[in-house]
Amino acid sequence: MSERKAELWSRRRLLQAGCGGLGLALIGAAPRRGYEAITVAGPARISGRVRSLAKAGRPPRLKLSGDCDYCRKFHPRSEALLQNTDGSLRNAVVYLSGIERGKAPAAEVPTMAELRCTFTPHVVTMQVGKLRLVNQDPVLNTFHATELATGRTLFNIGMPQKGQKALRRIRRPGVIRMLCDVHPWEVGYVLAFPHPYHTITDGEGRFTLDQVPPGSYTLTLWHEQLGQQTKKIKLAAGDHLRLELTYPAAKG
């Protein structure tokens, strides 16, 4: 390789690295020293509920395409906005920023499966590390992971048989969109964090973050369709902060 070509190649690699860093903007880069697990003294707790004031009816059926007789019998519906009649919102992600030390990471490896031609769970949160992928359908599925901010492919795995599994390592924080190249209506999300202080709202819109070290943080609410909100919070030892977080109705 000539000196000129080597220089151009080096510049290209730097540009790619810089673009890739945009994927960290949403949830923050990992601390320089890495996250440290400790015994939390005077742990605080955050709990609450997430609602949306927008009107949402029954999730629409997804438009299927191609040769998908197996999928058609399940009549899959969109999971982009799952909202109860009281406005409580499922699959909203709640997380903290600014934590470098705290509780130990979860021991269980998070899993995303494809079942009935749908990513299950629809949204997964995890600390950077291993992610388990499972095909639970008797047809070919793929797990095509792309960085939401850059569109860069992290991996693309084909699984033609029911019961096939794979492990992949998510190496840095960011939002990942999961796609299936065989069934283009399938979409899921994986949010990776540098620490374990993240959660997803349940079927009633409720969430809990526990074993939080006393301190000041930014709490962020994220939803794939409704966007994100942030809130500054301060926790003293033993505090239990209860929150009602609300997405406003769309204007117009």
pLDDT digits (tens, 9 = 90+) for 203-236: 999 999 999 999 999 999 999 999 999 999 999 9
209 by DSSP, 3-state: which? Answer: strand
Provide mean pLDDT across the span 136-147: 97
Provide the residue count of the chain: 252
CATH of domain 3-247: 2.60.40.420
pTM of the complete model: 0.86
Give how far Cα 159 sits from Cα of 76, 163, 186, Å. Answer: 20, 9, 15
List, in sequence order, every residue forming a beta bridge with 208; answer none if it has no partner.
47
**pLDDT above 70 (res 2):** no
For the CA atoms of the chain, what is the radius of gyration? 20
- Report the pLDDT value the prediction gives residue 55, as an integer from 0 to 100: 85
Exposure b/e, 215-233, CB count within 10 A at least 16 = b: bebebbbbbbebeebeeeb
Q: How far apart are CA 205 and CA 225, in angstroms?
A: 15
β-pairing, 82-83 vs 118-120, is: unpaired
More confident residue, 63 or 135: 135
List, in sequence order, every residue forming a beta bridge with 115; answer none if it has no partner.
118
Instruction: Share the mean pLDDT of the chain.
Output: 88
- Report the pLDDT value the prediction gives residue 32, as an integer from 0 to 100: 52
Confidence of residue 67 (pLDDT cuts 50, 70, 90): low
- Report the pLDDT value the prediction gives residue 28, as an integer from 0 to 100: 53
